[in-house]
Amino acid sequence: MASRGSKIALASTSLFAVSTIIFVHFQQQAEKKAMHQGVVRDMEQQRVKRERQLDFELQKQLEAEYKQEQSVRSTTDAAAAASELKR
């Protein structure tokens, strides 16, 4: 027969081992959830970045089309043309 002290020691080490396993399991689940949320957040940021890049490219294209349709001069070009007219 085992003594009372050895039974208590066995029960406490078993309880410690089971509680450690449970803690590690839940810790891993929490880390997995956090990693998944990070991936989702990164994908959303990439989607927004792509949308902004497409908007920027569309604006550049529209600007180029407008410049072709209109004669646009910069202020330095206008000043140079005015000085040449005065000569």
The residue ranking higher by pLDDT, 47 or 86, is 47
The structural domains of the chain, with segments of one domain joined by +, span 30-65
> What is the greatest pairwise CA distance in the chain?
121
| 40-58 residues labelled b (16+ CB within 10 A) or e (exposed) | eeeeeeeeeeeeeeeeeee
| 13-22 residues labelled b (16+ CB within 10 A) or e (exposed) | eeeeeeeeee
Percent of the chain past pLDDT 70, that is, above it, reads 79
Q: Using 50, 70 and 90 to split pLDDT, how confident is the model at 68?
A: confident
Q: What is the pLDDT of residues 1-26, one digit of tens each?
A: 679 999 999 999 999 999 999 999 99
Map residue 87 onto helix, strand or coil. Answer: coil
Name the DSSP class of 86.
H
